Structure 1
């Protein structure tokens, strides 16, 4: 067993887990001061809920046993592997323990669910959110992870072939969709669900441009920094080995968000007259989102180009909610859905060897589009149905008067900022 690669995977998993508290700071700084605890608790709630569900049955759905060379059904559960029964011991000659891979993928499930919460900031009940998250993860995230990441466990303990989005499309088009670290399974998936929930819950009280401003930009910058730090584990760690491909993914995870940060600020300066700290943080995250599927399939130059595009496009895309009338509170759609789509489709043109520009074949672009559209539609439809059912049964949205007063004290009995203690 390669102890170096095992350590690499476990460290990468820890880095990805840190991304969710980072997201809590990023989202928490963007909301009203009176709902910062509610916002951060939705991320921490996802950590607790997904950590348990992943062990109980999430991994069994996302990574059921697959015969080598075959494509897994779109939804399947490996009952023999509930509670991780079949991966407790490493096979003879394994490159790393299967449990290391289990831990790494668990952190992906956690952050993906947490991402969705940004669309319903300031107005969602915590209990309703947890019920939605459990159902959505079960019927959407776990299966979609199987479509993209469902690697079969070979005799030597390595994971070597994928689900229908990768392996299945390759059988038809000669190339499979490229999604190295989760442009479809994580970002398009979460962004589509966020759009559905924004429509189900409706607009915040007083929703209009400029009505809701971030209460704590330093929190936003801190969160973005933690996200960027953890993203090295997200992208480079997806190679599952400390090798040159991981190093390429690492470099591209520096280059693309750096370029996106700059291009977002340029768009802000041109459009609004001032570059902002929140814009810098949002631009970096947009670049990180876009490079996620592409980090191992682009040269650093093309990663910079992607970052420049992502920063500019996402900076403009966040205005769509005002033009189209949906209240995506923290721009999950504008950054994660749009950024995920951009990074996924960009590979159809500029992926090394197989992209249209380098191969002259449109097949890579076709399979990228199929993968993106399939995940978007599947996630949006089911998230809308689940969210609508929760709203019509137990209620998903707090009362308007509670939203106006601030939902931290109503939902959690706490305040984010106690400036003086008057209890005597």
Structure 2
């Protein structure tokens, strides 16, 4: 009798269990409101990094006669990428893979990306917008190396070509299922895709552009630099923690790692400068903050707090010497030290991710200190491939632009300043 009752109850419960299973499966494919809210905020934070963050940071560093031109380069980069990313950038970066190299155009103009389309637990259109902000700031970062000498029209053409033929393929290789992703390369938030990419483009570009007439770095307004630095630091929480694409523990770890590395790098730069020059400068502290933020970017969601401290400390010291010793010795005119800070800190951070990646923080990453020496080799390969490709393509892009227009401004325009000669405006009407 008892067996019959149990059997009857089991039969009666089957529809209920089936409905629970169906509900669970449906829930897994539904939008997560918490994740979506966090990613909307993160996307806005990353946008803030380009305009006004980077625009003010770069604008305060240049000579007062070139402030508006420098700011305009960041603004126009963001506008160009915002349009082209929707047209084809997102599709080529994040649609199905073609031979590990590039995506298809099946999502051009966001075709097929419907309101109900999901990327994980968030709307795909939001994921696309988040990635758009990464592409925009990468292009804008390069401008800091070229300022005070490149024609505004040449910069616009460079932005279009470089985003299309450099950023988009590299983003696909690492984040879109391309060959570096399949190799197992770790890049949580853009050490390779953003900073190595931008840094190498900066170095190659300045070598092709040649030196400015006056290569001295004379910041016109360190208050603007400080405000820009603060906005970049603030926005970087969305940049790194948002790259978890979810409101979870990994995002929280990336958040604290980001803050810690930036603070430690700033202290390391300040103390190094203080010992050598006997004066701790505001510009040095700001530069150290940026170096730490860059270095922790590829590692943010993979390393523990100890790893973030070590990465930040190394970044502060190495980037100080790259700017004060290496650049003068080699003689290249990287105006705002895009290669010396973003390039070198990005390279260093990407490699050290292979050392400090802690599987207890993120099971997707296991580095040298946790028994996986191979990860360091993978990171080296990813960095090397990116550097080589970016260097060649940036050179080719400059040669293509030269077929259509002069890249450098006239000497008299450079002396007058690009605010007046290119835009007919002045930053300070005092």
Aligned positions of 1:53-92 closer than 5 A: 53-66=84-97, 72-91=98-117
**CA–CA distance in structure 2, aligned partners of residues 324 and 393 of structure 1:** 31
Aligned to 1:13: 43
Aligned to 1:214: 219
The CA deviation at 1:77 is 4.0
Residues matched between the structures, number: 392
**CA–CA distance in structure 2, aligned partners of residues 135 and 249 of structure 1:** 32
The CA deviation at 1:349 is 1.7
Residues 322-361 of structure 1: CA deviation (Å, up to 9, x unaligned): 11111000000000000000101112222114222221x3
CA root-mean-square deviation? 1.4
Aligned to 1:201: 209
2:95 corresponds to 1:40? no
The CA deviation at 1:402 is 1.1
Asked if structure 2 preserves the Cα contact closer than 8 Å seen for 1:286 and 1:310, the reply is yes
SS in 2 for 1:79: coil
The CA deviation at 1:252 is 0.4
Q: 1:25 aligns with which of 41, 46, 56?
A: 56
Residues 4-33 of structure 1: CA deviation (Å, up to 9, x unaligned): 111111110000000002001111111000
Q: Unmatched 5+ residue regions in structure 1?
A: 67-71, 151-161, 170-175, 420-424
SS in 2 for 1:375: helix
Counting helix residues as a fraction of each chain, which structure ranks higher?
2
The CA deviation at 1:214 is 1.0
2:279 corresponds to 1:274? yes
Indicate the structure (1 or 2) with the bigger Cα radius of gyration.
2
**CA–CA distance in structure 2, aligned partners of residues 293 and 76 of structure 1:** 21
Aligned to 1:157: none
The CA deviation at 1:392 is 5.0
Aligned to 1:357: 369
Aligned to 1:181: 189
Asked if structure 1 preserves the Cα contact closer than 8 Å seen for 2:295 and 2:348, the reply is yes
Distance 1:348 1:395, change over 3 A: same
SS in 1 for 2:303: coil
Aligned to 1:154: none
SS in 1 for 2:289: helix
Moved over 3 A (4+): 91-94
Q: 1:4 aligns with which of 34, 45, 52?
A: 34
Distance 1:99 1:92, change over 3 A: closer
Comparing 265-274 and 368-377, the one that deviates more: 265-274
The CA deviation at 1:94 is 6.1
SS in 2 for 1:80: coil
Asked if structure 1 preserves the Cα contact closer than 8 Å seen for 2:192 and 2:346, the reply is yes
Residues 182-204 of structure 1: CA deviation (Å, up to 9, x unaligned): 00000000001011110111001
Aligned to 2:20: none
Asked if structure 1 preserves the Cα contact closer than 8 Å seen for 2:102 and 2:173, the reply is no
The CA deviation at 1:391 is 3.5
**CA–CA distance in structure 2, aligned partners of residues 285 and 108 of structure 1:** 16
**CA–CA distance in structure 2, aligned partners of residues 322 and 184 of structure 1:** 25
SS in 2 for 1:304: helix
2:381 corresponds to 1:370? yes
SS in 1 for 2:101: coil
**CA–CA distance in structure 1, aligned partners of residues 121 and 332 of structure 2:** 48
Q: Unmatched 5+ residue regions in structure 2?
A: 1-30, 360-365
Residues 124-156 of structure 1: CA deviation (Å, up to 9, x unaligned): 111100101100110110111101111xxxxxx
Asked if structure 2 preserves the Cα contact closer than 8 Å seen for 1:259 and 1:308, the reply is yes
Aligned positions of 1:177-326 closer than 5 A: 177-207=185-215, 211-319=216-324, 320-326=326-332
Asked if structure 2 preserves the Cα contact closer than 8 Å seen for 1:391 and 1:397, the reply is no
**CA–CA distance in structure 2, aligned partners of residues 216 and 4 of structure 1:** 40
Aligned to 1:110: 136
Asked if structure 1 preserves the Cα contact closer than 8 Å seen for 2:101 and 2:178, the reply is no
**CA–CA distance in structure 2, aligned partners of residues 314 and 59 of structure 1:** 33
**CA–CA distance in structure 2, aligned partners of residues 123 and 392 of structure 1:** 18
Distance 1:356 1:75, change over 3 A: closer
Aligned positions of 1:142-161 closer than 5 A: 142-150=168-176
Asked if structure 1 preserves the Cα contact closer than 8 Å seen for 2:81 and 2:136, the reply is yes
Asked if structure 2 preserves the Cα contact closer than 8 Å seen for 1:61 and 1:75, the reply is no
